[in-house]
């Protein structure tokens, strides 16, 4: 190839081709299955190196370089292929003749079209083929080939790219992140692994590179793609070129990087208390951070800022982990020239969202669920996106700063989809190995159930890319834990392999949690055993539980119209304090919901038995939750409890809908802390959204992923929660504007600084209580079965009070002989009598009785040892100990 190829457009079509559906599926190097095809027909596999095949029904094939005859396979499908491709419909099973199998690796570099022919050779039907099964079989050795990506050493710089279907490949090197290429080097193909490699003399660290690959792209033809490295470790501005570096180089390490210890405060996964935080949200609105660092990784290094003081206070109280929303390279945020609109207007105005909507494509904000390069830090959070080294160093500075605050660092990772696919300019994987890395439907189109272009981590090299990437973040950035977006779209087997690899890389346990939702084309194990809620038992990998979340909040994520108001939850008035929309719901609804709260408090453990509101003793797995078992986990480590995260409305905003309108600001703050208490006292991992503790509002926005700084702000000065800063963006909220406007215009719904301060301090006290005893963080299901005992259950219960005793005798780290907690969600004082609790020496937890305790109302809670009566003030969570 000529050097000019390095400065060409991202795509050059060398020979255009016709488009075909890909309804046939390679099962392995020998077998093809064509669903719906008549097994009694004649089949030929046509090939063309330039992609010029024309196959029209009723005519003969033209433009092909040759063909192979495919015979119907007389035997059964091998068990491994049958299991992997069990979702493929019934149809003709065809085989490549033994004599032709050696040709297949070369033919897979060409356009392939499978044709069903009539006796006279005319086309009856024609289809392209889905290639993953063949590539994974032929190039099985690629799963263990070392050193994919760039490697820089003192006297040599190497490049390795897995591209088994490429006809030619070369690497372009550039002295800078902009300007003309300096050199082009042809790459050598390894027929065993499907990998192309090249080496150049000298250490090229600090320079940049791209690959040129000639591939057959479905629907396009033979194309020459100028593309970045799927294994990029850093990039220049807007990800235009990959960066050459050795991540072990001293020049990429901040002073003290190798010596700074990782916090050692999570002995078991249930010790985790997690604060979910967006890098830009953290500091962009904090005027105590220097201007250059606002919205950047380096904001975390300013220990005197309001934001870092807030995180340090949470750490001291018992928060263990900061989970960062995506910080890998993001495709949807411009890294140069992005805009930061400054809206203004009435609390219920439409102008704010109109400005945000007009600029969202070019503004500086996105949550980041748009993966571009999985293993490179995002450039918009660096102080100079043009410098590939800067983002590496500054990311590490952020990690060091959080570790110094005794906070572990978690990453939100999105291996289940890419930002874009196909021949789009910001597509990477599909332009290197077209048709391999993404999950395809029955016609060969990419599945998009996750919102975007779904990856196929059941394919060997996509699974490897995910695992290699997670290992890189663990090894080179000291990441302590991962939160997997839509983890149910990954195979359990791949996640367990990943767990082993990151643990080995770190030399310690790396905690894995994720969204285990079960939906889409993989639902109910349609393609593989998923890493989903019901399929991870015994793995130790945690999934977010919707059981307690929905019971606490009420309703569901998709509620709109009057259902946003009427579907009250346990803490915001269900039955006991109906709002104007709720009507009079039966007491049974509250009793049933109270049981679901207890399910969450017991860690959603399958085998835990409790008395239900119908006076039956049932294991949690026998209790119904929308047709699923309410208890779904084998161990508490497999459950992540939460009542708010970045998705959907914040808790404050949900309560704006569901609490009666006359509820005061002080009481709204108390209600929010009831949700915090349920989360803090639940067995399993405790997970909180940043700002939950300061009554964060997004002005009723149900989906703020591209709502800009305006709707996502945090105020670490504790003066404002940003309720009533305008109607939220119309795209997701507009249909409900008539209902939202009166709420946003109601000044009484905006909390006073005193309400925010109460929530802040009460939340920290709850963290201290959870941290004070391992009884709130029991290690095993057996521990929960043995030690957790619910009080006030059955049909005669006081349904607005959940209460439990946890026995601490001889339990490591218990700190107390007994811990008992009580959560009264009612707006009036309630009492319960527990005969088994008579004659104990209960006292208030030391956090409640301390001079600086935030919730003075809790100090009015009473225990009568003669009768076993506990009296709990209105809207109060209280813990007694002995």
Q: Cα–Cα–Cα angle for 843, 848, 854, nearest 5°?
A: 165
In angstroms, how far is CA 136 from the centroid of its own chain?
27
The residues, ordered by sequence, that sit 6+ positions from 168 with a Cβ below 8 Å of its Cβ are 1, 186, 212, 213, 214
By CB neighbour count within 10 A (0-12 exposed, 13-18 middle, 19+ buried), where does 538 fall?
Answer: exposed
The 10 Å CB-count burial string (b at 16+, else e) for 548-565 is bbbbbbbbeeebeeeebb
> Is 458 tagged catalytic?
no
Laid out side by side, the sheet with 876-881 consists of 788-791, 801-807, 818-824, 876-881, 843-844
Calpha distance 353→708 (Å, rounded): 9
Tell me if residue 32 falls in helix, strand or coil: strand
Under 8 Å between Cβ of 606 and 612: no
Residue in this structure with the two tokens 């059955």, named with its chain if needed: 794
Find the catalytic residue in 137, 281, 515, 638.
Answer: 515
What is the Cα–Cα distance from 441 to 460, expressed in whole angstroms? 18
Catalytic hit among 485, 693, 715, 826: 485
Q: CB neighbours (10 Å) of residue 410?
A: 26
Other CB atoms within a 10 A radius of the CB of residue 303 amount to 13
Element (H, E) at 312: helix 306-317
Residue found by looking up tokens 């006796």 in the block: 119
Q: Are 375 and 328 in contact (CB under 8 A)?
A: yes
Is 425 tagged catalytic?
no
- CB of 66 within 8 A of CB of 46? yes
Paired with 158 in beta bridges are 151, 199
Q: What is the dihedral of CA 302, 402, 466, 424, to 10 degrees?
A: -20
DSSP string, 569-632: -TTTTTTTS--TTT----HHHHHHHHHHHHHHHTTTBTT-EEE-TTS-EEEGGGSEETTEES--
Q: Which residues contact 535 (CB under 8 A, 6 or more apart)?
A: 488, 492, 516, 518, 525, 529
Q: What is the DSSP letter of 473?
A: H
What amino acid positions are annotated as catalytic residues? 485, 515
């Amino acid at each position: 190839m000529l050097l000019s190829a390095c400065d060409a457009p991202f795509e050059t079509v060398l020979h255009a081709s016709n488009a075909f559906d890909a309804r046939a599926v390679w099962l392995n190097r020998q077998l093809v299955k064509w669903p719906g095809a008549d097994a009694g027909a004649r089949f030929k596999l046509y090939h063309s190196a330039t992609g010029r095949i024309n196959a029209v029904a009723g005519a003969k094939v033209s433009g092909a370089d040759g063909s192979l005859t495919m015979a119907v396979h007389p035997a059964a499908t091998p068990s491994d292929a049958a299991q992997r491709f069990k979702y493929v419909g019934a149809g003709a099973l065809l085989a490549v003749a033994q004599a032709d199998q050696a040709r297949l690796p070369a033919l897979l570099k060409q356009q392939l079209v499978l044709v069903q022919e009539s006796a006279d050779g005319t086309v009856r039907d024609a289809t392209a083929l889905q290639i993953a099964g063949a590539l994974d079989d032929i190039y099985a050795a690629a799963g263990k080939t070392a050193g994919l990506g760039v490697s820089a050493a003192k006297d040599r710089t190497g490049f390795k790219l897995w591209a088994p279907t490429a006809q030619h490949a070369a690497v372009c090197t550039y002295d800078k992140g902009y300007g003309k290429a300096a050199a082009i080097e042809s790459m050598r193909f390894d027929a065993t692994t499907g990998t192309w490699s090249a080496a150049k003399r000298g250490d090229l660290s600090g320079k940049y590179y791209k690959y040129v690959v000639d591939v057959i792209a479905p629907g396009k033809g033979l194309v020459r793609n100028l593309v970045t490295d799927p294994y990029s470790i850093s990039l220049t501005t807007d990800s235009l070129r990959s960066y050459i570096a050795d991540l072990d180089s001293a020049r990429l390490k901040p002073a003290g990087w190798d010596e700074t210890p990782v916090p050692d405060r999570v002995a078991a996964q249930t010790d985790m208390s997690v604060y979910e935080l967006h890098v830009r949200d953290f500091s962009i609105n904090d005027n105590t951070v220097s201007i250059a660092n606002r919205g950047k990784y380096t904001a975390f290094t300013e220990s005197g800022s309001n934001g870092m003081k807030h995180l340090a206070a949470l750490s001291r109280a018992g928060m263990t982990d900061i989970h960062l929303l995506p910080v890998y390279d993001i495709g949807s945020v411009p890294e140069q020239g992005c805009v930061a609109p400054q809206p203004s207007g009435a609390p219920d105005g439409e102008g704010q969202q109109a400005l945000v909507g007009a600029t969202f494509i070019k503004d500086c904000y996105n949550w980041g669920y748009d993966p571009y390069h999985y293993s490179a830090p995002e450039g918009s959070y660096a102080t100079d996106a043009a410098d590939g080294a800067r983002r590496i160093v500054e990311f590490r500075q952020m990690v060091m700063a959080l570790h110094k605050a005794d906070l572990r660092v978690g990453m939100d990772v999105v291996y289940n989809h890419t930002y874009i696919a196909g021949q789009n300019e910001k597509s990477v994987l599909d332009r290197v190995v077209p048709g391999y890395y993404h999950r395809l439907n029955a016609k060969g189109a990419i599945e998009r159930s996750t919102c975007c272009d779904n990856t196929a981590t059941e394919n060997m090299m996509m699974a490897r890319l995910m695992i290699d990437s997670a290992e890189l973040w663990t090894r080179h950035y000291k990441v302590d834990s991962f939160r997997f977006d839509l983890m149910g779209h990954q195979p359990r087997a791949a996640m367990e392999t990943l767990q082993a690899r990151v643990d080995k890389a770190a030399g310690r346990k790396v905690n894995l949690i994720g969204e285990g939702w079960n939906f889409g084309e993989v639902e109910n194990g349609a393609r593989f055993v998923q890493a989903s809620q019901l399929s991870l038992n015994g793995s130790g990998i945690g999934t977010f539980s919707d059981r307690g979340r929905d019971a606490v909040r009420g309703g569901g994520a998709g509620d709109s119209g009057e259902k946003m108001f009427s579907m009250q939850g346990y803490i915001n008035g269900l039955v006991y304090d109906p709002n104007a929309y709720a009507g009079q719901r039966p007491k049974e609804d509250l009793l049933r919901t109270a049981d679901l709260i207890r399910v969450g408090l017991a860690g959603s453990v399958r085998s835990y038995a409790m008395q239900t509101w119908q006076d039956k003793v049932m294991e949690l797995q026998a209790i119904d939750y929308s047709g699923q078992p309410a208890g779904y986990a084998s161990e508490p480590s497999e459950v992540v409890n939460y009542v708010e995260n970045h998705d959907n409305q914040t808790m404050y905003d949900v309560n704006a809908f569901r609490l009666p309108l006359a509820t005061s600001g002080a009481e709204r703050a108390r209600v929010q802390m009831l949700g915090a208490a349920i989360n803090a006292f639940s067995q399993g991992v405790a997970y909180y959204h940043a700002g939950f503790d300061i009554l964060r509002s997004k002005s009723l926005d149900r989906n703020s992923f591209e709502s800009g700084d305006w709707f996502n702000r945090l105020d670490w000065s504790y003066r404002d929660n940003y309720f009533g800063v305008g109607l939220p963006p119309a795209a997701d909220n507009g249909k409900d504007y008539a209902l939202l406007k009166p709420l946003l215009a109601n000044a009484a719904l905006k909390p006073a600084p005193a309400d925010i301060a109460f929530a802040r301090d009460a939340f920290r006290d709850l963290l201290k209580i959870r941290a004070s005893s391992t009884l709130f963080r029991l290690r095993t299901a057996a521990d929960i079965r043995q030690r957790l005992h619910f009080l006030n259950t059955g049909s005669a219960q006081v349904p607005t009070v959940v209460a439990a005793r946890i026995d601490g005798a001889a339990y490591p780290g218990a700190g107390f002989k007994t811990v008992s907690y009580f959560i009264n969600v009612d707006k009036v004082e309630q009492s319960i009598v527990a005969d088994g609790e008579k004659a104990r020496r209960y006292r208030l937890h030391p956090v409640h009785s301390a001079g600086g305790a935030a919730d003075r109302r809790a100090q009015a809670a009473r225990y009568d040892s003669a009768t076993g009566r506990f009296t709990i003030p209105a809207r109060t969570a209280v813990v007694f100990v002995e």
